């Protein structure tokens, strides 16, 4: 109980009022806003739990050792480090002169970690997913139970780490990989462990499972008059028939229209509703032709009709009436593999993030294209976007002054801007400085 209270008060002090506050992005050469673990990494950096390297990098893909994992988790969970302790660390490969001595000693004294039968701790050995989740859950002092069913397709309920894996699933601390497997033996990276600790901090603070969409970036779909939050690493198409998808390349999927086992797609089309029918009238017409169950409700404040479909690849459909009276139809497709239950949740989160955005806002992109190589109008044109993020600066520029590269997540374009003449030099699709 003492350790639980200590960790709770220390964590509350560490996190302040809320972890959902904006976190300033640290200046790492290998981390930007679009890295899937950027918020987690920068949260722990702000808390002085993590730091970068002298060359300005963070090395997110570098594997984490057992000693490093113990330090990061203890500090992340607000556990007080016992710098006077000499008990509990009777390992042949751990010495008082080691930087990690106090952290390992504290963890041993609290029953968080143990050594091996040969009297070693192996502090420099990499830590795998199962070990990291066990260290995290024990440090957070949460209750875990052996599950009655296998928590993941590759985690049997009888293995030693099943209770920790089950907790990680229920609270969404560590979801499966994109093939549905958890891969308990995979080595943990700095980015991966940062994300786990960050998610545990939020679940401990808020008392609910981590919302997977918390840090997804918002993208614009101009032909259907809306924006959506899109998972990291997913592809999207904003013109014509809008779409968001992830391919199951391991099973040979190359088309977004025919998901293989672990692929998923969200298609969207718009009905202009020129007649001005109400949402109730529109939904009555749709329901008259349905042979499956449905639910009238609201989605992010907009009138919605959810159609529960589960045949072949179609998982679910949504009809949402926007503020301008138009109706957007979403159709979610999944392949039915081990990853599908998670994809179904993600697809629902994407739809649930819907925000109406007038097509007039698309004029920003048209204005940017028209302003290319026109001096004196660059900044005013870029102000039309409202979500530009500086991703790179070329201080040498083009001989006249520095050149900045600004990315718009909603429009998915990068603007190349030269300061001295206040001019947009070019516009490219996607996030890039390779013009």
Please give the pLDDT value at position 32: 84
Q: Please report which confidence band the pLDDT of residue 90 belongs to, taking 50, 70 and 90 as the band edges.
A: confident
Given a contact cutoff of 8 angstroms between Cβ atoms, the answer to whether 218 and 244 are in contact is no
User: What is the largest distance, in Å, between two alpha-carbon atoms of the chain?
Assistant: 80
Convert the pLDDT of each residue in 283-314 to its tens digit: 999 999 999 999 999 999 999 999 999 787 89
4 pLDDT above the threshold of 90: no
Mean pLDDT, residues 124-146: 97
Q: What is the DSSP letter of 18?
A: -
Distance, CA of 140 to CA of 151 (rounded, Å): 20
Convert the pLDDT of each residue in 316-340 to its tens digit: 999 999 999 999 999 999 999 999 9
139 pLDDT above the threshold of 80: yes
Q: Please report which confidence band the pLDDT of residue 153 belongs to, taking 50, 70 and 90 as the band edges.
A: very high
Mean pLDDT, residues 201-213: 97
Convert the pLDDT of each residue in 400-430 to its tens digit: 678 999 998 777 899 999 988 889 999 998 8
Mean pLDDT, residues 241-254: 93
Distance, CA of 192 to CA of 162 (rounded, Å): 19
Instruction: Kindly report the average pLDDT of the chain as a whole number.
Output: 89
Residues contacting residue 42 through CB under 8 Å, at least 6 positions apart: 23, 24, 25, 26, 31
Convert the pLDDT of each residue in 339-373 to its tens digit: 999 999 999 999 999 999 875 545 678 888 888 98
Distance, CA of 243 to CA of 226 (rounded, Å): 12
Please give the pLDDT value at position 169: 97
Q: Please report which confidence band the pLDDT of residue 222 belongs to, taking 50, 70 and 90 as the band edges.
A: confident
Please give the pLDDT value at position 376: 84
Q: Where are the domains of the chain?
A: 2-206, 217-357, 360-429
Please give the pLDDT value at position 359: 57
Please give the pLDDT value at position 396: 67
Distance, CA of 219 to CA of 430 (rounded, Å): 11
Please give the pLDDT value at position 59: 97
Q: Which two tokens stand for residue 167?
A: 């907790």
Q: Please report which confidence band the pLDDT of residue 26 belongs to, taking 50, 70 and 90 as the band edges.
A: low
Please give the pLDDT value at position 408: 86
* pTM of this structure: 0.79
Q: What is the DSSP letter of 379?
A: H
Which residues are registered as beta bridge partners of 380? none
Distance, CA of 417 to CA of 202 (rounded, Å): 38
Question: Quick one: how far is CA 62 from the chain centroid?
Answer: 19
Residues contacting residue 165 through CB under 8 Å, at least 6 positions apart: 130, 133, 151, 152, 155, 174, 182, 184
CATH of domain 217-357: 3.40.1000
Given a contact cutoff of 8 angstroms between Cβ atoms, the answer to whether 303 and 279 are in contact is yes
56 pLDDT above the threshold of 50: yes
Percent of the chain with pLDDT over 90: 72
Length in residues, the chain: 435
């Amino acid at each position: 109980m003492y350790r639980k209270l200590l960790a709770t008060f220390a964590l509350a002090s560490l996190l302040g009022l809320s972890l959902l506050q904006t976190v300033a992005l640290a200046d790492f050469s290998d981390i930007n806003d679009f890295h899937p673990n950027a918020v987690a990494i920068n949260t722990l950096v702000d808390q002085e739990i993590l730091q970068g390297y002298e060359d300005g990098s963070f090395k997110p893909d570098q594997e984490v050792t057992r000693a490093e994992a113990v330090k990061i988790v203890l500090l992340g969970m607000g556990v007080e480090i016992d710098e006077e302790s000499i008990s509990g660390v009777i390992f042949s490969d751990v010495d008082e002169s080691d930087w990690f001595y106090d952290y390992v000693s504290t963890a041993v004294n609290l029953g968080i970690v143990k050594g091996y039968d040969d009297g070693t701790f192996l502090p420099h050995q990499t830590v795998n997913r199962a070990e990291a989740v066990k260290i995290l859950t024990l440090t957070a002092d949460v209750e875990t139970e052996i599950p009655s069913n296998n928590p993941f397709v590759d985690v049997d309920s009888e293995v030693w780490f099943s209770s920790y894996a089950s907790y990680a699933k229920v609270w969404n601390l560590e979801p499966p990989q994109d093939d549905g497997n958890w891969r308990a033996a995979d080595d943990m990276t700095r980015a991966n462990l940062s994300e786990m600790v960050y998610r545990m901090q939020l679940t401990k603070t808020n008392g609910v499972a981590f919302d997977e969409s918390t840090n997804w970036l918002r993208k614009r779909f101009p032909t259907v008059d809306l924006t959506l939050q899109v998972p990291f690493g997913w592809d999207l198409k904003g013109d014509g028939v809008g779409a968001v998808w992830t391919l199951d390349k391991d099973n040979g999927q190359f088309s977004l229209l025919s998901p293989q086992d672990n692929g998923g797609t969200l298609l969207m089309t718009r009905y202009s509703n020129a007649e001005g029918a109400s949402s109730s009238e529109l939904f009555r017409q749709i329901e008259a032709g349905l042979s499956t169950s449905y639910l009238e409700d609201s989605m992010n404040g907009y009138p919605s009709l959810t159609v529960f479909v589960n045949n072949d690849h179609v998982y679910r459909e949504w009809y949402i009436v926007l503020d301008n009276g138009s109706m957007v139809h979403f159709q979610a497709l999944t392949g039915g593999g081990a990853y599908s239950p998670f994809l179904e949740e993600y697809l629902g989160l994407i739809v649930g993030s819907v925000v109406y955005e007038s097509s007039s806002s698309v004029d920003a992109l048209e204005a940017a294209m028209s302003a290319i190589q026109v001096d004196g109008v660059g900044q005013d044109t870029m102000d039309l976007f409202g979500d530009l993020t500086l991703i790179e600066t070329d201080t040498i520029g083009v001989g006249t002054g520095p050149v900045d590269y600004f990315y718009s997540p909603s429009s998915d374009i990068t603007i190349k801007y030269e300061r001295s003449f206040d001019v947009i030099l070019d516009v490219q699709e996607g996030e890039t400085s390779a013009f």
